[in-house]
Structure 1
Amino acid sequence: MFDLLLRGGNVVNAGGAARADVAIEGGRIAALLAPGESAVARDEIDVAGCDLLPGLVDAHVHLRDPGLTHKEDFQSGTRSAAVGGVTTLLDMPTDEPWTWNAGQLRDKMQLAAGRLHTDVGFQVVVRRDLAGLRELRELAPVSFELFTADVPEAFLHDTLDGMDRAMRALAPLDVLIGVSPGDESILAGETRRNAGRAGGVCEFQASRPPLAESAGIARAVLAAAATGARIHIRQTNSALGIATWRRLRDMADASIETTPQCLLFAKDSYERLGANLKASPPLREQEDLVAMREALRAGAIDIVATDHAPHSPAEKAASYANFADIPGGMPGVQTLLATMLHFVDQGDIALKDLVRMCSANPAARFGLGGRKGAIRPGHDADILILDPSKRTVVHNEDQLSRAGYTPFDGLDVPWRLLRVLLRGREIFGAGGVAEARGGAVVTAGPTSAHADR
């Protein structure tokens, strides 16, 4: 006897869609049955006419816990994610303190226990002196992060030599290396040239131009090719950056991500949303936005993540002498599904592509394949139930993040998320978010050689 049967749904995986009844037992998918096939379960849900998607895996999230919990914490961030259909969050290491050693990672894992509405995997930062790597590896974080610009010196890998040295140390550990592409020399040069002057949006853009992004991508791919390291390139959003990626990506075991905001907003959006859109990389020109949407349609983007990085409303609303001084980042986990459904509605992608970029690829790439990212026997029963006959409108007042807003306010998309299951248990439904916090800390297993393109 199964624990639960989902009857009559259209199961959507990265490879395509098919009608099937989904049998769940012990928190995992036990079988995909022919529609109407005889089976017995303790409970059944009629999902006739609904699309069933695997829970989304957001590979780039800042939950701000510990140390910055006035912005967000494990409970508020994962609650927001559950409402949006993100069942697994991969948390970045830039909290307070930055997570760079085994003791800090153990503390973070213990702090999260019992406070999660969704599953969470942790990412760690690599120090410039490469301290503590083997001890960290024993705890199986989902990635080791290299930052190339705009971070404290202890964590700055701003030369090709430094990146090569770090990758040579990490490659034998069989880990995924996240690289945030940039160029510290350009940032430093612009800062010197503008010393003493108030800087606006244009100055902020000039300090972090497409040239810096593309140079960071090139250095990362070349270093990975030379060392045999597996890399994942963080948020790209420029025509030059994506062109560089397309030229070089086959040289190494590499994948790349972008974000919904980089696919929906250009520089002129600052006029309307101002501080609420301030983040790094800065928004680009309209031609960059066009290039990014074309790359999305062409399958050149492996993963779409959110870079969920909330700040308190007071922090965003304060007055700053320079645009660059505004705290960078915006909320995103609650709206990842809605923004991706917008691209489906626009004809840029299909539902299976949404699953590929937001479930299957991040799960496989970050060591969660076989557990997350697909509705398939043996996988965790993390399932989204969507009604294609209804629509969803994104509103600021519905957001559960402590940021208290969304840059996508007013977005109207087809489909409505009816239920979210995490390992077969409902964490979101008609009654809202379940009070029970059944999320768990997940750790990395083997990662796939390449993202599914």
Structure 2
Amino acid sequence: MATVDLVIRGGLVVSPERVVAASVAIDGGQIVAVGHDDLMPAGREEFRADGLHLLPGAIDSHVHFRDPGYPHKETWKTGSAAAACGGVTTVFDMPNTKPATGTVEALRMKLKAAEASYVDFGIHALLGDDTVQRLEELIEHGATSFKAFVGNTFGNLPAPTDGALLEAFEILAPLGYRTVVHAENSSIMARRGQRMQEAGRHDALAHLAARPEVCEIEAVSRIIHFAEWTGARVHIAHKSSADALWLVREAKRRGVDITVETCPQYLLLNTDDMLRLGGVLRLNPPIREPRHNQPLWEALLDGTVDMIATDHAPHAPEEKTGADIWSCDCGFPGVETQMTLMLSEVNKGRASIMDYVRWSAVAPAKAWGLYGRKGTIEVGADADIALVDLGRCGVLSNRQLHTVAKLSPWNGRPVQGMPVHTLVRGRFVMREGKLVEDAAGWGRSIKPVQQMPAPQPRNTDKATSAILATPPGIPADATPAEVVALYAQQKEEGWG
């Protein structure tokens, strides 16, 4: 075999099924061999990975890199640097930037900003009432997927009406593109929040009280109904509560193409932490009571929840630390800390490292049509690899974060298990725990390869596009009485 670019020797390669001692050969950004060290070709560069686990790079399908529009919160360069240092090799960015990513012009602005990225990226374009007719155009110009803010969040983008949401699903169902949904009921939350502020509630738990579990239950149920009716693919973002899990289980049992993410904060934090940290922990959906933590873990383990994401949502420290909870922006950085937090739980025996690979890489790769190219360490895949030291201990610190927003609820948390090297398409973007500065701009825009089952649109005869056309054999200027008579005639003749 000819000499290749890089051979990683002596590591432990992890898949969802097993951990095996193997070496990995990389050439032209792709994996060209995985196996016994003696069978590897020579490498122009050789790297010893003794004692390290080789994981498929994490795919974080929920980040807010704030660029364009909010450089004081984050930029593509700083956000992707944080991703690289956290073992994340692909991110999907959300559309609530400025301008919102709902037009081709705004999409081009974001793709231009993303040219500074250390890691590969997809772009969720905005699904709203005024973007429904542009969905296919946005796909053509580089959108990988869509985001519907059914629940209000940063940017105050109006929630799509149910009519627009259903029509968008009708359009996307035959195309096979998935829509991320922030599933909370905006009307309930807006009314409760306003009434609480008028009543003088400004405490740390007021934000939670304005967004009770019923908001999530109702919105998840609604999204499932629309997806099932149209055959559209949907993804529930940042699942925070135990209460709507049964809806997801039943939907999956019926064959609805629904995927679900949760985040470390919903697995590991609760209202006890909210009382301690206040506005630092304000986010949407909110941090909930302790009773929600364990059911979310169990849902990950049984497959009801498919994957881990972060909802990386940075803000300047002064935007998070006001005494009035309503004045604190929602969200905090997380893309850099997700892997070490979850590996710490692996070390505690809460899950296996194979489970973690399924949640962080395999499931998101499959959900976004990337599996085989991303999410796996096998021949033909992109060489996106996180080399982790499960024995390495440390303490998370705000000062060490690469994000602009150096304010995290994880500050001071002891961890065990860290990514120490990260490769994106065969190039080190983080090495020996240090960012490789000249790798900025190495990231590339990805397009789903659609290695998924064929789309299965449903009820297409009742879709908006179908009902706008006059039925065959019915004159456009027919009166209601004439339409009834013609339908009766068609039925009698057996062809209506």
Return closer, same or farther for 1:375/1:139 CA change in 2, 3 Å cut-off.
same
For residues 126 and 36 of structure 2, the distance between their equivalents in structure 1, rounded to whole angstroms, comes to 46
| 2:242 maps to amino acid | A
Correspondence 1:229 to 2:232: yes
Cα distance, 1:346 vs. partner?
2.4
Q: Contact 1:158/1:184 (CA < 8 Å) preserved in 2?
A: no
Q: Which residue of 1 aligns with 2:274?
A: 270
Q: Which residue of 2 aligns with 1:117?
A: 118
Return closer, same or farther for 1:431/1:228 CA change in 2, 3 Å cut-off.
closer
Correspondence 1:300 to 2:291: no
Q: 1:426 aligns with which of 416, 428, 435?
A: 428
- Deviation track 1:186-232 (CA, whole Å, cap 9, x = no partner) reads 12331453352222344322321111101111111111111010111
Q: Which residue of 2 aligns with 1:311?
A: 315
For the pair shown, which has the larger CA radius of gyration, 1 or 2? 2
For residues 449 and 140 of structure 1, the distance between their equivalents in structure 2, rounded to whole angstroms, comes to 22
For residues 296 and 282 of structure 1, the distance between their equivalents in structure 2, rounded to whole angstroms, comes to 19
Q: Equivalent residue of 1:240, what SS?
A: coil
Number of residue pairs aligned between Structure 1 and Structure 2? 446
Q: Which residue of 1 aligns with 2:4?
A: 2
Q: Equivalent residue of 1:194, what SS?
A: helix
Q: Equivalent residue of 2:437, what SS?
A: coil
For residues 393 and 323 of structure 2, the distance between their equivalents in structure 1, rounded to whole angstroms, comes to 38
Q: Equivalent residue of 2:123, what SS?
A: strand
Return closer, same or farther for 1:30/1:153 CA change in 2, 3 Å cut-off.
same
Q: Contact 2:205/2:274 (CA < 8 Å) preserved in 1?
A: no
Q: Which residue of 1 aligns with 2:450?
A: 446
Q: Which residue of 1 aligns with 2:342?
A: 340
For residues 195 and 111 of structure 1, the distance between their equivalents in structure 2, rounded to whole angstroms, comes to 38
| 1:85 maps to amino acid | G
Where does 1:107-146 land on structure 2 (aligned, <5 Å)? Answer: 107-113=109-115, 115-129=116-130, 130-146=132-148
Cα distance, 1:319 vs. partner?
4.4
Q: Which residue of 2 aligns with 1:243?
A: 246
Q: 1:355 aligns with which of 349, 357, 375?
A: 357
> So what's the TM-score if we normalise by structure 1?
0.93
For residues 27 and 258 of structure 1, the distance between their equivalents in structure 2, rounded to whole angstroms, comes to 31
For residues 95 and 399 of structure 1, the distance between their equivalents in structure 2, rounded to whole angstroms, comes to 22
For residues 48 and 121 of structure 1, the distance between their equivalents in structure 2, rounded to whole angstroms, comes to 33
For residues 279 and 344 of structure 1, the distance between their equivalents in structure 2, rounded to whole angstroms, comes to 26
Q: Which residue of 2 aligns with 1:207?
A: 210
- Deviation track 1:350-377 (CA, whole Å, cap 9, x = no partner) reads 1111111111111221132222111111
Return closer, same or farther for 1:375/1:392 CA change in 2, 3 Å cut-off.
farther
Q: Equivalent residue of 2:147, what SS?
A: strand
Q: Equivalent residue of 2:137, what SS?
A: helix
Where does 1:5-404 land on structure 2 (aligned, <5 Å)? Answer: 5-37=7-39, 39-113=41-115, 115-129=116-130, 130-150=132-152, 155-159=158-162, 161-191=163-193, 193-194=195-196, 196-199=198-201, 200-251=203-254, 252-320=256-324, 323-404=325-406
Q: Contact 1:176/1:231 (CA < 8 Å) preserved in 2?
A: yes
Measured on the aligned residues, the alpha-carbon RMSD in Å equals 1.9
Return closer, same or farther for 1:449/1:262 CA change in 2, 3 Å cut-off.
farther
Residue segments in structure 1 that go unaligned for 5+ positions in a row: none
Q: Contact 2:25/2:32 (CA < 8 Å) preserved in 1?
A: yes
Percent sequence identity is 35
> So what's the TM-score if we normalise by structure 2?
0.86
Q: Equivalent residue of 1:334, what SS?
A: coil
| 1:246 maps to amino acid | R
Q: Equivalent residue of 1:156, what SS?
A: coil
Return closer, same or farther for 1:3/1:254 CA change in 2, 3 Å cut-off.
same
With 86-95 and 164-173 compared, the bigger mean Cα shift is at: 164-173
Q: Contact 1:122/1:443 (CA < 8 Å) preserved in 2?
A: no
| 1:316 maps to amino acid | K
Cα distance, 1:107 vs. partner?
2.0
Q: Equivalent residue of 2:393, what SS?
A: strand
- Deviation track 1:300-338 (CA, whole Å, cap 9, x = no partner) reads 220110000000012112443xx2331000000110101
